[in-house]
Amino acid sequence: MTPGHPLDLSVYLVTDAGLCGERGVADVVSEAVAGGVSIVQLRDKHATSEQLLVQLAELARVIDGRAAFVVNDRLDAVLAARRRGIRVDGVHLGQGDAAVLEARAALGPDAIVGLTANTPAHLAAVAELPPGTVTYLGVGVIRPTPTKLDHPPALGIDGFAEIAAATGLPCVAIGGVGLADVAELRRADAAGVAVVSAICAAPDPSAAAREFADGWAAAAPMPTGGRGRAEPVKGMPGVPRVLSIAGSDPSGGAGIQADLKSISALGGYGMAAIAALTAQNTRGVRSVHVPPAAFLAEQLDAISDDIDIDAVKIGMLANADVIDAVASWLRRVRPPVVVLDPVMVATSGDRLLDLDAERALRSLLPLADLVTPNIAELAVLAETEPATAWTGIVAQAEVVSAGYGVRVLAKGGHLDGATVPDALVDAVNATIVEFSGDRIETTATHGTGCSLSSAIATLRISLGGWEPAVDEARRWLRESLRHGEELHVGGGHGPVHHFAGLWSRGGIATAPTASEVEAAWWGEIAELRARIDSLPFVRGLADGTLPPDVFEEYLAQDAHYLRSYSRVLAEASRLAPEAPEQAFWAACAQHCLDGELEHHHDRLGDPGVDPVRPNAVNTAYLDHLVASAARGGYAELIAAVLPCFWIYDDLGRRLIAGDLGPAARSPEHPYADWLAMYGDPAFEITTRQAIDTVMAVASRSTPEVRGRMLRAFRRSAECELAFFAFHAAPGCRT
Ligand SMILES: Cc1ncc(COP(=O)(O)OP(=O)(O)O)c(N)n1
Ligand SMILES: Cc1ncsc1CCOP(=O)(O)O
Ligand SMILES: [Mg+2]
Residue 14, ligand 2, Cβ within 6 A: yes
CB 462 within 8 A of CB 267: yes
User: Per the annotation, does 224 bind a ligand?
Assistant: no
* Cα→Cα distances 351→316, 347, 380, 475, 715, Å: 12, 10, 9, 30, 50
Q: For ligand 2, atom 8, which residue shows the shortest CA distance?
A: 175
Question: How far is Cα 31 from Cα 491, in angstroms, rounded to an integer?
Answer: 73
**What is the per-residue pLDDT for 293?**
92
Residues 15, 135, 282, 448: which is the catalytic one?
448
Question: How far is Cα 725 from Cα 392, in angstroms, rounded to an integer?
Answer: 52
Question: How far is Cα 170 from Cα 1, in angstroms, rounded to an integer?
Answer: 15
On the question of pLDDT at 388 being above 90, the answer is yes
Tell me the pLDDT tens digit for each residue of 677-701. Answer: 887 888 899 999 999 999 999 988 8
**What is the per-residue pLDDT for 117?**
95
User: Per the annotation, does 196 bind a ligand?
Assistant: yes
Distance of CA 581 to the CA centre of its chain: 18
Residues 36, 447, 464, 652: which is the catalytic one?
447
Q: Is 445 a catalytic residue?
A: yes
Q: Is 588 a catalytic residue?
A: no
Mean pLDDT calculated for residue range 450-461: 93
CB 441 within 8 A of CB 433: no
Cβ neighbours, 10 Å, residue 610: 13
Q: Is 411 a catalytic residue?
A: yes
The pairing of beta strand 407-411 with beta strand 422-426: antiparallel
Tell me the pLDDT tens digit for each residue of 398-433. Answer: 999 988 878 999 999 888 888 899 999 988 778 898
Q: Who's near 663: CB < 8 A, 6+ residues apart? A: 542, 543, 544, 669
Residue 174, ligand 2, Cβ within 6 A: yes
Residue 148, ligand 2, Cβ within 6 A: yes
State in Å: Cα 496 to ligand 1 middle: 54
- Which ligand 2 atom sits nearest the alpha carbon of residue 143? 13
**What is the per-residue pLDDT for 486?**
84
Mean pLDDT calculated for residue range 660-673: 88
Question: How far is Cα 159 from Cα 330, in angstroms, rounded to an integer?
Answer: 18
Residue 116, ligand 1, Cβ within 6 A: yes
State in Å: Cα 153 to ligand 3 middle: 16
Residue 370 — pLDDT band, cuts 50, 70, 90?
very high
Cβ neighbours, 10 Å, residue 474: 20
Residues of the chain with pLDDT > 90, as a percent, come to 52
**What is the per-residue pLDDT for 3?**
40
Residue 8 — pLDDT band, cuts 50, 70, 90?
confident
DSSP string spanning 524-563? Answer: HTHHHHHHHHTSHHHHHHHHT-S-HHHHHHHHHHHHHHHH
Tell me the pLDDT tens digit for each residue of 542-588. Answer: 999 999 988 988 888 888 899 889 999 999 999 888 888 999 999 99
Closest-CA residue to 486 (of 501, 474, 496, 475): 496
State in Å: Cα 131 to ligand 1 middle: 22
Computed over every residue of the chain, the mean pLDDT equals: 87
Q: Is 450 a catalytic residue?
A: yes
Tell me the pLDDT tens digit for each residue of 474-483. Answer: 989 988 998 8
Q: Which residue has the higher pLDDT, 438 or 171?
A: 171
Q: For ligand 2, atom 1, which residue shows the shortest CA distance?
A: 148
Q: Which residue has the higher pLDDT, 138 or 578?
A: 138
Whether omega for the bond prior to residue 141 falls within 30 degrees of 0, making it cis, is: yes
